[in-house]
Amino acid sequence: MIKKIKLSVTTCYLIPVDNKYLLVDTGYNNDKNRFYKQLEKLRITTKDISYILLTHTHDDHVGLVNEIVLQNTSCKVIMHENAIEKLNTGKNDLSKSSYINKRIATVIRLIRKFSKGGFPIYSTREKDIIISKESSFKNLGIDIDGKIIYTPGHTDDSISVVLDSGICLCGDAAANMLTILGTKHCVIVIEDLKEYYASWTRMLKENITEIYPAHGNTFSVEELHKHLNKQKIQNMRVIKR
């Protein structure tokens, strides 16, 4: 059974594997106390986390990688090959990103809550698992019924987990946040909208029934069908820092 860890803005997920867990994403670095409290409620410790899978390298997803690996040095980190260099910078790269629509751009700029993009630098280790293409967990030596697929668009290092049970843990390849502002299940910032929707099409080809996003509640895969290609590039707004 998948366990949820709801942090300040990010929902992380624990997938059972060999009496321990694979953790999907980690939240912000300043989510540390909240993260440990959530683990305690679940009666889980960092020693029970055998793997961390990073859906992409933004600070609200990778902030606690160093913390967890420090506590459990045997834990292996799974990432796309494009994530390696980004993890070494300690900063979000938003140079190619735009807000998904004008309303989002206006609200985020007004409340000034958009992250500055900092996280502790992480240097990959020999034991870590680097993904360059679609990979089944079994082929990676991990006893989980499912696979990892490449889902770019939000970033060029975005990956998602597709389980044989029909659940897709997608990171920011889809979202369920700020729907009142017309996000239509897109995350609020995107590098390449065409690639983003191509990743939706890729997910829809799988036997998926439910989406587990990093932001917002779970939702039916039918919502992807419903909102596919509804956002338009001309309506996006460049991020001004």
pLDDT, tens digit, 9 for 90 and up, residues 2-49: 999 999 999 999 999 999 999 999 999 999 999 999 999 999 999 999
Average pLDDT for residues 221-239, to the nearest whole number?
96
Closest alpha carbon to 51 in 25, 88, 87, 80 = 25
| Portion of the chain with pLDDT greater than 90, in percent | 92
Identify the pLDDT of residue 127: 97
Closest alpha carbon to 233 in 184, 192, 182 = 192
Identify the pLDDT of residue 91: 93
Structure tokens at 130: 């680097």
What mean pLDDT value characterizes the chain?
95
Q: Which residue has the higher pLDDT, 40 or 107?
A: 40
Identify the pLDDT of residue 108: 83
Query: In the structure, what pLDDT confidence band is assigned to residue 113 with cuts at 50, 70 and 90?
Result: low
Query: In the structure, what pLDDT confidence band is assigned to residue 117 with cuts at 50, 70 and 90?
Result: low
Secondary structure of the chain as H, E, C letters: CCEEEECCCCEEEEEEECCEEEEECCCCHHHHHHHHHHHHHCCCCHHHEEEEECCCCCHHHHCCHHHHHHHCCCCEEEEECCHHHHHCCCECCCCCCEECCHHHHHHHHHHCCCCCCECCCCCCCCCCEEECCCEECHHHCCCCCEEEEECCCCCCCCEEEEECCCEEEEECCCCECCHHHCCCCCCCEECCHHHHHHHHHHHHCCCCCEEEECCECCEECHHHHHHCCCCCHHHCEECCC
Domain housing 32: 3-238
Residue 50 has pLDDT above 60, yes or no: yes
Identify the pLDDT of residue 240: 75
Query: In the structure, what pLDDT confidence band is assigned to residue 116 with cuts at 50, 70 and 90?
Result: low
Residue 210 has pLDDT above 80, yes or no: yes
Residue 208 has pLDDT above 90, yes or no: yes
Domain CATH number, residue 128: 3.60.15.10
State how many domains the chain has: 1
Identify the pLDDT of residue 55: 98
Residue 112 has pLDDT above 60, yes or no: no
Q: Using the structure block, give the residue that is written with the tokens 């606690």.
A: 64
Identify the pLDDT of residue 110: 65
Average pLDDT for residues 178-197, to the nearest whole number?
97
Residue 230 has pLDDT above 60, yes or no: yes
